[in-house]
Amino acid sequence: MGVRRIGRVELPHDPPAFLKARLAVRRHPWPGGRGISVGLSGGADSLALTAALAAERPGGSEPLAVVVDHGLQKGSAAAARDAAREARRLGLECRVVAVRVAGPGGEEAAARRARYAALADAAEGRAIAVAHTENDQAEGFLLGGLRGQPAGMAAASELAGAPGGLHRPFLGLRRADTAAACRELDLRVWSDPANADRRFRRVAIREEILPALECLTGADPIGPLAAAAARARLEQDAVAERADGIDAGSCEELAAAPPAVRREAIARLIRGAGAAPTAASIEQVEALVTRWRGQGPVAVGGRGGARLEVHRARGRLALFRQKGAPDA
């Protein structure tokens, strides 16, 4: 594709895996006029994406690399510095942002919230690129299924605090592709110890469940699972569009909506109050609308130790931080 050097990284030939990464970046529908910020962990996926963005420079501007140091592991600061060094070898400006990981939902969820908040802040209006692959799509679909909410990731989606949106140009690539691209460019890849810790559900799915599925079916399950995730995302987007017109507090409007739209509106109501909706909590709140018998409030969790409850009162749903609500 004409580029023989990226920053200080030499390209002695046209490396096939890296060309594949560059094509994925080139074909992605980036928003115009905003510039691009890329989340860089130092792992193969994000390094390959950073290199591809450095080579392609969508929109003609230099991408900004952002490394988020979660501080969860010994040596995380050194790993962040190493990742930043690779970004600068590729000729990019790089910022390292340290965050504090805290909050409900476990360490993984808290780290994810902190990471995306930091990326949005550092992007300063740029589009944010992250390196989720087809493998991540398949794993996420199975994880969502365990929560009763199977869904896929979109190639482009909204992100709070990021007017340029969140972009995933690598959903059509495998981890094997990104690892090969990094080898071709002789990039220094960081291996996150957490990716080998089977206490985390995602790692257990990757290391145990997916190989078991391949053994059971005699075929690679990643492609079909990722395709199912993509279809689920399309359906989810259609439901979300319908839910935009629903007053999530109105029992009358919720009762008249199709079930999938009603559940999406209820999930938004719970999420908007700072809690994480689950299949069980959505179903219980839905019962306040469709099977109302004067039952009590539904606990939906919360943040910062606050216990949130959904009450039905005078034909509307409302969230309270303490027990007690007006009579229905």
7 is in an annotated binding site: no
- What does the longest C-alpha to C-alpha distance in the chain come to? 75
What does each C-alpha distance from 104 to 101, 249, 304, 306 come to in angstroms?
10, 25, 7, 10
106 is in an annotated binding site: no
Strands 298-301 and 36-39: unpaired
Residue at 303: amino acid letter: R
250 is in an annotated binding site: no
> Please, are residues 222 and 174 in contact by the beta-carbon 8 Å criterion?
yes
Q: Which helix (H) or strand (E) holds 134?
A: helix 134-146
> Please, are residues 57 and 28 in contact by the beta-carbon 8 Å criterion?
no
> Please, are residues 21 and 187 in contact by the beta-carbon 8 Å criterion?
no
Spatial separation of the C-alpha atoms in residues 300 and 209, rounded to whole Å:
30
200, burial (CB in 10 Å: exposed 0-12, middle 13-18, buried 19+): middle
237 is in an annotated binding site: no
41 is in an annotated binding site: yes
> Please, are residues 225 and 232 in contact by the beta-carbon 8 Å criterion?
no
Roughly how many angstroms between the first and final C-alpha of the chain, as a whole number?
67
Spatial separation of the C-alpha atoms in residues 246 and 266, rounded to whole Å:
10
45 is in an annotated binding site: yes
Three-class secondary structure assignment of 108-132: HHHHHHHHHHHHHHHHCCCEEECCC
> Dihedral sign, CA of 87, 88, 90, 91?
positive
Annotation: binding site: 41-46
Binding residues for ATP: 41-46
